[in-house]
């Protein structure tokens, strides 16, 4: 079982972080200077990966001094652990001791993750950026106390663990969750039948598994996917008055429960308000999106040109979504759905490191600065991608950025870094 060691100065919050990772509150051990305490190891699990978490908490006070004893702790962690977490107090910033430890850890052949703890509010993100100076790469901003972003940190820890033997045929994280939505009669059940009909095994409502009985596990392109709330699609629930409301509620719930959404549209008919509402709600919910134009077998040259115009006019909110033209009837291009889902999810999960983001941004802004407002030129001080799923950028500025300029930044950001198939959130924090 791989070992993850947590090192750092006293009072940076190592024990709180360990407890956070273990998902419990008890046994918070005080980092009291002068108290010697043995290293404690715990069993931890994240995304189905098990590892041993070693809290290197205690150190020997004495002639050698604090710094020497923590560096020794780091040396020992490096020799015994597969991954080392160096915890630093973001409020205090990098101290001489942190620098000494970082220097030791930079020699490590093992992955070292820099954890900026006590980031209880976004206003501390510039302080977090100052931790780049430790030379250990991007700092992971977390608040061990409040749980902020500890999931992202754990994702990174698990990614850094040595490759584990596969235990089952299932992906450890479980199948990714897909919603298939669209207005009535666009062909949702036909498409689902086509997708499930082409494969050997459809595992539906598997007894004794954790899969919700209304979901279906579907293998597409060698990968297992969990299609959310397909019970209604399979059984063709009878429509009666009042069901419109329930249908839209069901759609909304499926979108919320999904990671990526296929919005199915009827290419043979004009795009409707209802279509656009569904598309918009996916983007607003922050889910990855694939647009599938169904009934392509009915589309002739003339209709295709019409549709292009409707897309230009109607789908302005989601120019980044991949479009796949399918026919549930003939099976045309349905094999393109799985790759499109994968692309969208990769973008949804993608993170641009802060250093890369800022060097790109400062060049862009030097060439095209934000428009002057009220006689003042707003400056963008610093940017960071604070989150994924969906990718969320935080820009720290000295003034308001107009919507047009924010759209310009998003477009350029996508040109540079990709992000096909996912909405991106941009938050602007104005510093007075
Ligand atoms: P749902 O309400 O979205 O589940 O739609 P259905 O799957 O029930 O399909 C509605 C109607 O459209 C049915 O009569 C289907 O046979 C038809 N249909 C579905 N997909 C296609 C397609 O790709 N081409 C054509 N021509 N008809 C389709």
Among protein residues, the one with the nearest Cα to ligand 1's atom 24 is 295
- Cβ 192 under 6 angstroms from ligand 1: no
Least confident of 47-61, 143-157, 248-262: 47-61
- Cβ 327 under 6 angstroms from ligand 1: yes
Contacts of 259 by beta carbon, 8 Å cutoff, 6+ apart = 176, 177, 178, 287, 288, 345, 348, 389
**pLDDT for res 60:** 46
**pLDDT for res 273:** 94
Structure tokens at 331: 């099976």
Task: Answer with the residue of higher pLDDT: 122 or 261.
Answer: 261
CA of 327 to the centre of ligand 1 (A): 9
**pLDDT for res 57:** 60
Task: Answer with the residue of higher pLDDT: 241 or 99.
Answer: 99
185 labelled ligand-binding: yes
Q: Given a cut of 50, is residue 410 above it in pLDDT? A: yes
User: What confidence category does residue 161 fall into, taking pLDDT thresholds of 50, 70 and 90?
Assistant: confident
Sign of the alpha-carbon torsion through 357, 359, 364, 366: positive
Q: Given a cut of 90, is residue 342 above it in pLDDT? A: yes
> Does 3.30.990.10 match the CATH number of domain 3-160?
no
pLDDT > 90: percent of the chain:
41
Q: Given a cut of 60, is residue 204 above it in pLDDT? A: no
pLDDT digits (tens, 9 = 90+) for 263-316: 999 999 999 999 999 999 999 999 999 999 999 999 999 999 999 999 999 999
Strand partners, 263: 181, 291
Task: Answer with the residue of higher pLDDT: 331 or 244.
Answer: 331
CA of 273 to the centre of ligand 1 (A): 19
Closest CA to 270 of 332, 239, 233, 313: 313
CA of 301 to the centre of ligand 1 (A): 21
pLDDT digits (tens, 9 = 90+) for 26-72: 444 444 444 434 556 777 888 778 888 887 765 544 446 677 777 77
Domain pair 3-160 / 176-349, same fold: yes
Mean pLDDT throughout 194-214? 52
Contact indicator for 15, 29 with CB cutoff of 8 Å = yes
In whole angstroms, what is the distance from residue 431 CA to residue 224 CA? Answer: 46
Sheet hosting strand 40-46, strand order edge to edge:
40-46, 49-55, 3-8, 83-89, 112-117, 139-141
CATH architecture of the domain with residue range 354-430: 2-Layer Sandwich (3.30)
Q: Given a cut of 80, is residue 327 above it in pLDDT? A: yes
Where b means 16+ CB within 10 Å and e means fewer, 25-41 reads: eeeebebeeeeeeebee
Among protein residues, the one with the nearest Cα to ligand 1's atom 10 is 185
User: What confidence category does residue 164 fall into, taking pLDDT thresholds of 50, 70 and 90?
Assistant: low
In whole angstroms, what is the distance from residue 274 CA to residue 280 CA? Answer: 10
Q: Given a cut of 90, is residue 343 above it in pLDDT? A: yes
pLDDT digits (tens, 9 = 90+) for 361-389: 999 999 999 998 888 889 888 888 888 99
pLDDT > 70: percent of the chain:
84
Tell me the Ramachandran region of residue 184: left when phi exceeds 0, alpha when psi lies from -120 to 50, beta otherwise: beta
Residue among 179, 187, 295 whose CB has most ligand 1 atoms within 8 A, to mutate: 187
**pLDDT for res 199:** 46
Q: Given a cut of 50, is residue 210 above it in pLDDT? A: no
Residue among 179, 188, 190 whose CB has most ligand 1 atoms within 8 A, to mutate: 190
Strand partners, 114: 86, 139
In whole angstroms, what is the distance from residue 205 CA to residue 197 CA? Answer: 16
Q: Tell which atom from ligand 1 comes closest to the C-alpha of 192.
A: 7
11 labelled ligand-binding: yes
Q: Given a cut of 60, is residue 198 above it in pLDDT? A: no
CA of 188 to the centre of ligand 1 (A): 7
Least confident of 10-19, 265-274, 316-325, 407-416: 10-19
**pLDDT for res 340:** 98
Residue among 184, 239, 328 whose CB has most ligand 1 atoms within 8 A, to mutate: 328
CA of 190 to the centre of ligand 1 (A): 6
pLDDT digits (tens, 9 = 90+) for 13-32: 888 888 888 775 444 444 44
Mean pLDDT throughout 242-249? 68
- Cβ 8 under 6 angstroms from ligand 1: no
Per-residue three-class SS string for the chain? CCEEEEEECCCCCHHHHHHHHHCCCCCCCCCCCCCCCCCEEEEEEECCEEEEEEECCCCCCCCCHHHHHHHHHHHHHHHHCCEEEEEEECCCCCCHHHHHHHHHHHCCCCCEEEEEECCCCHHHHHHHHHHHHHCCCCEEECECCCCECHHHHHHHHHHHCCCCCCCCCCCCCCCEEEEEECCCCCCHHHHHHHHHHCCCCCEECCCCCCCCCCCEEEEECCEEEEECCCHHHHHCCCCCCCHHHHHHHHHHHHHHHCCEEEEEEECCCCCCHHHHHHHHHHHHCCCEEEEEEECHHHCCHHHHHHHHHHHHHHCCCCCCCEEEECCCCCCCCHHHHHHHHHHHHHHHHCCCCHHHHHHHHHHHHHHCCCCCECCECCCEEEEEEEECCCCEEEEEECCCCCHHHHHHHHHHHHHHHCCCCCCCEEEEEECC
Q: Given a cut of 80, is residue 232 above it in pLDDT? A: no
Report yes or no on whether pTM surpasses 0.90: no
User: What Å distances lie between residue 112 and 19, 86, 102, 425, CA to CA?
Assistant: 20, 7, 9, 29
Strand partners, 54: 5, 41
> Does 3.40.50.1220 match the CATH number of domain 176-349?
no
Q: Tell which atom from ligand 1 comes closest to the C-alpha of 182.
A: 3
Contact indicator for 43, 92 with CB cutoff of 8 Å = no
User: What confidence category does residue 432 fall into, taking pLDDT thresholds of 50, 70 and 90?
Assistant: low
**pLDDT for res 80:** 77
Task: Name the one residue in this structure whose structure tokens are 């206003």.
Answer: 123
- Cβ 294 under 6 angstroms from ligand 1: yes
- Cβ 297 under 6 angstroms from ligand 1: yes
In whole angstroms, what is the distance from residue 5 CA to residue 284 CA? Answer: 39
Q: Which range has highest mean pLDDT (92-96, 162-166, 240-244)?
A: 92-96
Q: Which range has highest mean pLDDT (62-66, 109-113, 117-121, 305-309)?
A: 305-309
Average pLDDT, the chain: 83
**Domain residue limits, the chain:** 3-160, 176-349, 354-430
Among protein residues, the one with the nearest Cα to ligand 1's atom 17 is 187
């Amino acid at each position: 079982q791989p070992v993850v060691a947590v090192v750092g100065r006293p009072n940076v919050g190592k024990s709180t972080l360990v407890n956070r990772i273990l998902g419990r509150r008890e046994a918070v051990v005080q980092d009291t200077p002068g108290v010697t305490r043995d290293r404690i190891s715990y069993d931890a699990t994240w995304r189905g990966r098990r590892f041993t978490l070693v809290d290197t908490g205690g150190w020997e006070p004495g002639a050698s001094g604090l710094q020497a004893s923590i560096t020794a702790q780091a040396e020992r962690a490096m020799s015994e652990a597969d991954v080392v977490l160096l915890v630093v107090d973001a409020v205090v910033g990098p101290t001489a001791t942190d620098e000494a430890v970082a220097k030791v850890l930079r020699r490590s052949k093992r992955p070292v993750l820099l954890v900026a703890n006590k980031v209880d509010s976004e206003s501390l993100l510039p302080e977090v950026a100052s931790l780049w100076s430790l030379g250990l790469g991007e700092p992971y901003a977390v608040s061990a106390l409040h749980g902020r972003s500890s999931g992202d940190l754990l994702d990174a820890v698990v990614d850094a663990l040595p490759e584990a033997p596969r235990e089952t045929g299932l992906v450890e994280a479980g199948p990714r969750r897909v919603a298939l939505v669209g207005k009535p009669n666009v062909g949702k059940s036909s498409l689902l039948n086509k997708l499930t009909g082409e494969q050997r095994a459809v595992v539906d409502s598997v007894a004794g598994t954790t899969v919700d009985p209304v979901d279906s596990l579907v293998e597409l392109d060698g990968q297992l996917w969990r299609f959310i709330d397909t019970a209604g699609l399979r059984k063709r629930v009878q429509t009666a008055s009042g069901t419109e409301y329930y249908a839209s509620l069901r759609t909304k719930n499926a979108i919320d429960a999904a990671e990526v959404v296929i919005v199915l549209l009827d290419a043979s008919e004009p795009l409707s308000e209802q279509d656009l509402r569904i598309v918009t709600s996916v983007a607003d919910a922050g889910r990855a999106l694939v647009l599938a134009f169904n009934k392509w077998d009915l589309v002739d040259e003339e209709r295709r040109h019409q549709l292009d115009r409707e897309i230009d006019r109607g789908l302005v909110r989601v120019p980044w979504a991949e479009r796949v033209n399918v026919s549930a009837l003939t099976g045309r291009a349905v094999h393109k759905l799985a790759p499109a889902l994968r692309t969208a999810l990769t973008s949804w999960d993608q993170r641009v490191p802060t250093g890369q983001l800022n060097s790109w941004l400062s060049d862009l802004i030097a060439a095209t600065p934000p428009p002057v407002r009220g006689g003042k030129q707003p400056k963008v001080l610093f940017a960071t991608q604070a989150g994924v799923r969906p990718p969320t950028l935080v820009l720290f500025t000295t003034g308001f950025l107009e919507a047009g300029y924010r759209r310009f930044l998003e477009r350029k950001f996508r040109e540079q870094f990709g992000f096909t198939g996912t909405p991106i959130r941009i938050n602007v924090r104005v510093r007075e």
